[in-house]
Structure 1
Amino acid sequence: MHVTLNEPVERVAIIGCGGSGKTTVGRRIADALGTSITHLDAVYYDDEWNKLPQDKFAQLQHDLVAADRWVIDGNYAGTLPIRLHRATHVVFLDLPATTCLWGILQRRWRYRGGQHADGVYDTINWGFIKYVWGYRKSMAPRVRALLAEHGADARILIAKSRRQANRIADELERAAR
């Protein structure tokens, strides 16, 4: 798969299931753009995993996407249109559940749980595992519908495997430099 990018890479929304590699892909692209990555989990949750009120969460995203350059990783379908309206590129990591669960286990092993240095709080519970397992059936169709409805001005790049995700990241890195 070769991605041809004609438009400048400036604002990238990265979406996908937990464990799909959003942070890894996002870091690569952010480095190439000379910006930092924003993890929506770190915006939405505090140190004790308490949620931000929905209206405040939406307003913070409006503030984030107003910048000229950004990379934002996170699913949050309820506020996805905010990111889609300003994104130049969207990377949708639509990977199999087993791949995502393996990614979660690797992350858990690497960080030993708790809050990561970049603000992402790593928690695994039965509800999260069920969410990951059912993501492609329940959430991915909703994401595709939101992409179709709100992502018309962005270049949509979909990866169905880690290999495709790496190729997309390679292309976006080259285009951003």
Structure 2
Amino acid sequence: MRRIAIVGSGGSGKSTFAKKLSNQINIDLYHLDSLLWLPGWVPVTKEQQVAIQQRIVKEDTWIVDGNYNSTLDIRLNEADTIIFLDISRFVCLYRILKRYVLNRNRDREDMAGGCPEQLSWQFLKWIFHYPENKRPHLLKKLQVHSLNKEVIILKSRRDVERFLRHVS
């Protein structure tokens, strides 16, 4: 594992998992949320998204966490390991609500500065419908990529903890 893409629904724990994994195996971590947003929740252009990710994946080692489906292939094509946090929608919704309550109006370390924690019905609906709307498409991509790289699907907090205990 030298080039790792971490994907999953909002609230699945991608950033927390990525940080723990990065610390354990000493590989640089890139949170897409911190790279693809400007202060005030202004997104960088699509061209900038592509350029930023193309620069990262040229490095010898990296961990990138985030979805951004329109540029997902950039990461999946160059990763040697893809980790999908396939966590229950109800756990994800709980975590998002908890995160909002705990961090309301504060910046998170895995987000760009000037982007305080926020919550919207649109985001909650996206998480709730992720298993039907996004997961099948992602699983198809993972099946294609599993031919030439390691694909790991973690379905629970217990799976995540077990994986982190055994990785070095």
TM-score normalised according to structure 2 size: 0.90
Structure 1 CA distance for aligned equivalents of residues 46 and 57 of structure 2: 17
1:81 equivalent in alignment to 2:76: no
What's the % identity of the aligned pairs? 31
Structure 1 CA distance for aligned equivalents of residues 2 and 96 of structure 2: 29
Runs of 4+ in 1 over 4 A off after TM superposition: none
Structure 2 equivalent of residue 149 of structure 1: 144
1:43 equivalent in alignment to 2:35: yes
Contact 1:157 1:168 in 2 (8 A): no
Which ranges in structure 2 are unaligned for 5 or more consecutive residues? Answer: none
**Residue correspondence of structure 1 range 20-169 to structure 2 within 5 A:** 20-120=12-112, 121=115, 122-169=117-164
Count of aligned positions: 165
Structure 2 CA distance for aligned equivalents of residues 171 and 111 of structure 1: 31
Question: What RMSD, in angstroms, separates the aligned Cα atoms of the two structures?
Answer: 1.6
Which ranges in structure 1 are unaligned for 5 or more consecutive residues? Answer: 1-8
TM-score normalised according to structure 1 size: 0.85
- The change in CA–CA distance for 1:170 and 1:113 in structure 2 (over 3 A counts) is farther
How far does the alpha carbon of each residue in 1:126-167 deviate from its partner, in whole angstroms, 9 at most, with x for none? 100000000011001111122223453221110121211222
Contact 2:21 2:164 in 1 (8 A): yes
Q: Secondary structure at the match of 1:114?
A: coil
How far does the alpha carbon of each residue in 1:75-111 deviate from its partner, in whole angstroms, 9 at most, with x for none? 1121111111121211101111110011112222332
